[in-house]
Amino acid sequence: MDFKKRFALPLPALEEELGERLSLIPETDQEMEEQARRYQLSLAKPPGSLGELENIAVRLAGMTGHLKSRIRKKRILVLCADNGVVEEGVSSAPQSVTAMQACNMTRHLTGMSCLAREFHCECRVVDVGIATPYHCPEIVDRRIKKGTANLAKEAAMTRRETLLAILTGMDLAEEAAKEGVDLLGVGEMGIGNTTTSSAVLAVLTGRSAREVTGRGGGLLDEAYRHKIRVIDEAVQFHRPDPADPVEVLSKVGGLDLAAMCGVFLGAARNRIPAVIDGFISIVAALLAKRLSERASAYFFASHVSEEPGYLIAQKELSLSSFLQLQMRLGEGSGCVLAFEVIRAACTIMNEMATFEEANIQDDYLTEIRDEMKR
């Protein structure tokens, strides 16, 4: 549906649209996964010797429905929005940095966009809620509103705004599918979004703010303790229902988180593998899983973020990350690196010889293969 037309729809219509689109998310192809697993055992190598690359190739087969997947077009979607909670002094950077960095991404001046250019990866920057004015025509305008309210004092968004953001994210994934994108990365830019992500994760998992909260962009000790207090008090004030992810987002989340959640859901709907970046991205992925259990079968985790809540969310998703590089930049930076790991897995599957093709007798591996199948 046209972005502007959806704005005129009442809340029940938005709820209905989300429900209908969630119902269309397919299961992964288990038969194709098993076929890929058997094919891996036929390749000219000791079984399991390529470790996680083998698992990636098997999962890709289930996601795409093809034994041999090819990554021709990669895209990072960077969802940008401001968060009213920065009024509470929970971030080391001013709110204006959101707009500045969003513009810088389009000019290949940020960490993620430099990596994206180096590895020939398209980067699409989307404004779903930037508060400060900017002039940058390369940014895609899907703004729901100019930043969220201060969650320490009131709900961050209305339920209607939250649904609009989720559906907008789903639209972005749908557009990517129509444009031939094979692999999606989900990044973000939004000052204050480690606070919103920690609050959401605390509600979804029942953990304390201290357990899920990190220093974000580099808070010093007193500011860090203050951030934890703000999150604890906000969760107690709003008491969102953890069984209702839309309510959790509405009360203590952000527009970027909601739209990212939608991208993950939309990717699954279109059988596009979606790569999680860091802490904010993995919380959005967990929200998507809570809305649709089937969706999470289409997610890859790129790297272990230094934020303490990351591993908690990763466990909830039952995923393992490819890389451990002590990164905490966000933006989608980890996705760019993970894309290359996924491409490597495809190359092995598509180009490596089987034992038969390599003229190698493989009878000596029968016992090992049988053990692996068990």
Confidence of residue 1 (pLDDT cuts 50, 70, 90): confident
Helix-, strand-, coil-residue percentages of the chain, each rounded to 5: 55, 10, 35
Q: pLDDT (tens digit, 9 = 90+) per residue, 226-269? A: 999 999 999 999 999 999 999 999 999 999 999 999 999 999 99
340 is known as an active-site residue: no
Catalytic residue among 31, 87, 331, 357: 331
Cα distances (angstroms) measured from residue 218 to each of 75, 130, 356 = 28, 22, 55
pLDDT value, residue 361: 80
For residue 25, how far is the Cα from the chain centroid? 17
**In the chain, % of residues over pLDDT 70:** 97
The CATH class that applies to domain 74-344 reads: alpha beta
> CA-CA distances (angstroms) from residue 166 to 2, 144, 291, 361?
14, 10, 11, 53
pLDDT in tens, 32-76: 999 999 999 999 998 899 999 999 999 999 999 999 999 999 999
| Confidence check: pLDDT of 367 > 80 | no
- Among residues 259, 132, 248, 261, the alpha carbon closest in space to that of 191 is found at 132
Upper half-sphere CA count for residue 319 (Cβ side, 13 Å): 29
**pTM, rounded to two decimals:** 0.95
Q: What is the pLDDT of residues 73-117, one digit of tens each?
A: 999 999 999 999 999 999 889 999 999 999 999 999 999 999 999
**How far is 254 from 98, CA to CA, in rounded Å?**
13
Q: Output 150 or 369, whichever has higher pLDDT.
A: 150
DSSP 227-266: HHHHHHHHHHHH---TT-HHHHHHHH--HHHHHHHHHHHH
Domain range annotation of the chain: 3-68+349-373, 74-344
How far apart CA 93 and CA 194 sit, in angstroms, is 12
Tens of pLDDT, residues 134-174 = 999 999 999 999 999 999 999 999 999 999 999 999 999 99
Element (H, E) at 197: helix 193-205
State which fold the 3-68+349-373 domain adopts.
Answer: 1.10.1610
Tokens representing 316? 């909830």
